[in-house]
Every structure is written in C-alpha cells, then in structure tokens.
Amino acid sequence: MGSLPLDASSRRPLNPEAFAGESRSVVDFLAEYYRDVGKYPVRAADLEPGLLRKLLPDAAPELGEPLEDVLEDVRRDILPGLTHWQSPSFFAYFPMNASAAGFAGEMLSAGLNVVPFVWAASPAAAELEGVVMDWMGRLLGLPQRLLFSGGGGGVLQGSTCEAVVCTLAAARDRALARLGHAAIMKLVVYASDQTHVTFQKGARLVGIPPSNFRVVPTSAASGYGLAADAVRAAVDRDVARGLVPLYLCATVGTTGLGAVDPVRELGEEARRHGMWLHVDAAYAGSAAICPEFQGYLDGAELADSVSMNPHKWFLTNSDCCCLWVASPRALTSALSTDPEYLKNVGTDGTGNPAAIDYKDWQISLSRRFRAIKLWVVLRRYGAVGLRAHIRRHVAAAKWFERTVAADERFEVVAPRKFSLVCFRLRASFAGDADDVNRELLAAVNASGRAFMTHFVVDGKFVIRLAVGGAMTEMQHVMDVWELLQDKAEEVLQRYRLEALNLQFRGS
C-alpha cells in the first residue's frame, strides 16, 4: 500500500498494485500472528466488558487512514481482547480450525467476490459447488442417494443452524401440503437431551409450537446416545394425542460429550412414522473420511438429510457447512422464489438440473463462493493428508484419555469416540466435586496457557478437552495435562486446608 495517496485509494479501491501491496501487508501481519499466537493468553480472560468501546472513538473517521495505522490498532487494541481460536492450546467448544489452504480458498472466494445465487450469476461457481459436494459425500462414505450423481444433492451453507432451518421448513411444508397450514400446531420434532440446541431454536424459528419439541432423555447406559425405543414411546404418546411426528434428529458426535446416536435404528423409527430424519455430524463428520469412523454413519441411507461442518475440524476457515438432501425437490419446494428480476436471462429456462439456482437451497438469496474454499482444501491436502490430520488429533485425544484414566485423582466421564475427552476430578478427594472441578477449570483458563469449556451431564460438572486446532500437536496436549495436574494440586490443596481449618475450629 502506502504508495497511493489516501484519496486515490478510495477513488480506485481495486487498483491492482495497491491491492497487492496492502494484501501482502495483511499476509505478513497474519504470518506474524501465527508465529506468536502461542504466546497470547488463549482466552481473553481479563477484558472488562465495554473496555474496547472506551478505547475506540464514537464515530467513523472522516478521512481515510493508512493501513499501517489500522493494523497497528488491531495489534494494540483488538488482539489482546480476542480469545485465540487458532492457538495450539485452544481446547474449548469445538475447534474452528484454519489452514493455509482454507485461507487461500477464502481469499479466492472473497477476491473473486461472485454471487452464485442463480446459475447464470456465476455458472462455474454453482457447478463447482455441486462437484465439491459430491466429492465430500464420497469421502464420508455417504450413500449415493444423497449425492447429485444419485438423485440427491448438496449445498454449502454457513452453519448447521441454517441447514436445520432449511430441512425443518422442507419437512414442515411437505406435511402441511397434505394437512393444511393449521396443522402446524400438531407437528412434533424429536431430539435427545444431548442434541444441539440449534434444533430447538430452528424448530421454533419455523413456527413449530415450542411445546411440540420433545427432548428425549439419554443415559450413561447408551453412552448418551438416543435410544430408538425411547423415541418410539414418545412418538406413540404424541400420535395417541392426535399429534403428527414430523422430524427426528440423530447426532453423530454430540456437542457436550461427543456421543453418537444409532442412525440406522433411528432411521427405521423415522420411516415408520413418515418423519424426516436429519443426521447432524457437524463436528464428527470430518472423522468419517477415515474408514475406521464411517461405521457411525451406518444407516445414513435412511436419512432425508445429513450435515457436517468443514469449518470445525476440516482445515476450512469459517464459514462452511455441508448439507446433503435425498430430495432436492423437498428442499426447493419450501425455499424457492422466482421473481422476475432473477429469471435466468440467457439460459433456456428448462430447469436443467445441472444449472442449479442455489438460492432455492438455502435461507438467503445472496451467498458466497464457498465451494472454491473447500475445493482448495481438498486439492491441497488430499484425502490422505486430511485423514492424517484427523488421526493425529484422535491419537492425541486417546493419549489424554488413557493418561487421565490412569490417574486415580481423575475420571473419564463418557467414553471418547473422536477427539473430545470429557473428564473431571473425582468426587472423593475434597469438597463438592462440582465446585472443585469448576475451580479447576477456572484456574486453568485464568492461567492463559489453555482454554477449555465445560458441560453438565447427569447433574455433574464435566471438563471438556476438544483437540482439533491446526497447530495443536501432541506436545500441547501433554502440556495441558501438566497444567491440569498443577492446578488440580493447587485447588485440592486449598480444599484440604479449608477442611483442616474447619476441623481445627471445630475441635
């Protein structure tokens, strides 16, 4: 940048030389960030709410400012207030991993800045999406009927929630076409107590009465998976009351514990009642590119739709959610619009299935060229590289699980299936186990050396270690285990002292 005066830069905002110069400055800034990211506190622990607002002016500047100044402000004001999702010691929530290839794809998407909402608006972009969705589906071992090549098809959306809203609307409109709109009061959606809250939000968004959302309990006995007979019991109760079973969600890799619902059994249950079955594999779907994990998707041929998020654990920068459907028509019946200003001038209008108008496959009209991002990731790393990436994290999580289990102070709360380990300090050591674990987690996060989040299952406070950062190596997992032990000793020591004090005062 720099070389063009400010006025000229807003006058010619895509001047190629200025563009290249400024963009290289940002690349260097980000390379430096990746070099240093391990040094930042992983979670911005000490930021006082409202602090940034105090640092920044009340209004946008009147005159443009040099990029260097902007980047300096990012360094000084923004970075210290971020929680660093790309830190190798970020183990919270689920990963949102970035990569050089994901970034390259994102740059191409943002730089070309085309809008493949109708086919004619950028044919190659729409077609690449179809190709990439079939590639991904094959890598995951999805049944042919969910791929374009088998009569189904796929679309890239921004998030699971968008995908869920679209499939709920499709299921709803399929039912209401038969029953009349007033029957919306009778439609029932089924999920487990481990299902992501997105389904509850989505069902409410599409107008299903909140009281018609069934949360079926799970238990340790089924590994916190949703038992088909529990669904059947709930459905039978509803049918007896004159309600209409609409939609069932099966999760492969739940958010809390990484649990897996039995897709085939739930699919058979859904078929029995004409329900839409959605398989949510947002996080664990990435693992299904490895044959050893594909078994968890067994039964997917009974699904009406399947979704997974390459932006979680698949080296694809945010955002990117794959949604496959068995019946594109069911989706587009609920979502299509055909205003005059979007009629495909220049195409034959015969509805060639290769000329997809993706606006009819999603909530929004406009959309980004996400396909090129996922395509670059797949091309750059290849199936072999991506499988190795998944297996490295699974191996690290396995090591962590084994190590925690071998330490008598700790317990593993739910069996690990992928790269998420749920564990806690045992109750017997000191004080209330939930308090102890809450303090342990707070101490670890306050150290800035790692960031983990928690879950509550069967009333127990559980610590989650989700391995999946692009820079996370075995060493970082070993380091966090050291950190956990140190902090556990501190917390336990404090509880022991308190207990002694109480004893002393009591004596």
Q: Within 443-502, which residues bind a copy of itself (CB under 8 A)?
A: 445-446, 453-456, 464, 470-471
- Kindly state the smallest distance separating residue 231's Cβ from a copy of itself, in Å: 21
DSSP string, 19-30: HHHHHHHHHHHH
Instruction: Calculate the alpha carbon distances from 176 to 17, 173, 291, 363 in Å.
Output: 56, 5, 40, 19
Token pair of 238 as six digits? 């509803």
The closest of 128, 51, 41 to 358, measured between CA atoms, is: 128
End-to-end distance of the chain based on CA atoms, in angstroms?
75
Residue numbers 225-254 binding a copy of itself by CB under 8 A = none
d(CA 281, CA 287): 9
Choose between 54 and 505: whose C-beta lies nearer to a copy of itself. Answer: 54
**Site pattern 312..341 for a copy of itself (x: CB under 8 A):** ---x-xxx--------------xx-xxxxx
Residue numbers 11-70 binding a copy of itself by CB under 8 A = 11-20, 22-35, 43-45, 47, 49-53, 56, 58-65, 67, 69-70
d(CA 9, CA 125): 29
Strands 460-466 and 420-425, by their bridges, are antiparallel
Question: Which part of the chain contacts a copy of itself (CB under 8 A), choosing from 164-172, 214-222, 242-250, 474-482?
Answer: 164-172
Total interface residues for a copy of itself by CB under 8 A: 177
Q: Could you tell me if 424 and 491 are in contact, meaning their C-beta atoms sit under 8 angstroms apart? A: no
Residues 6 or more apart whose Cβ sits within 8 Å of residue 229: none
Residue numbers 204-223 binding a copy of itself by CB under 8 A = 204-211
- Kindly state the smallest distance separating residue 507's Cβ from a copy of itself, in Å: 37
Q: Could you tell me if 172 and 328 are in contact, meaning their C-beta atoms sit under 8 angstroms apart? A: no
Residue numbers 87-126 binding a copy of itself by CB under 8 A = 92-93, 96-104, 106-108, 110-115, 119-125
d(CA 407, CA 489): 13
- Kindly state the smallest distance separating residue 402's Cβ from a copy of itself, in Å: 23
Which listed residue (40, 41, 42, 84) binds a copy of itself by CB under 8 A?
84
d(CA 161, CA 274): 23
Is residue 158 involved in binding a copy of itself (CB under 8 A)? yes
- Kindly state the smallest distance separating residue 408's Cβ from a copy of itself, in Å: 26
Is residue 177 involved in binding a copy of itself (CB under 8 A)? no
Choose between 26 and 483: whose C-beta lies nearer to a copy of itself. Answer: 26
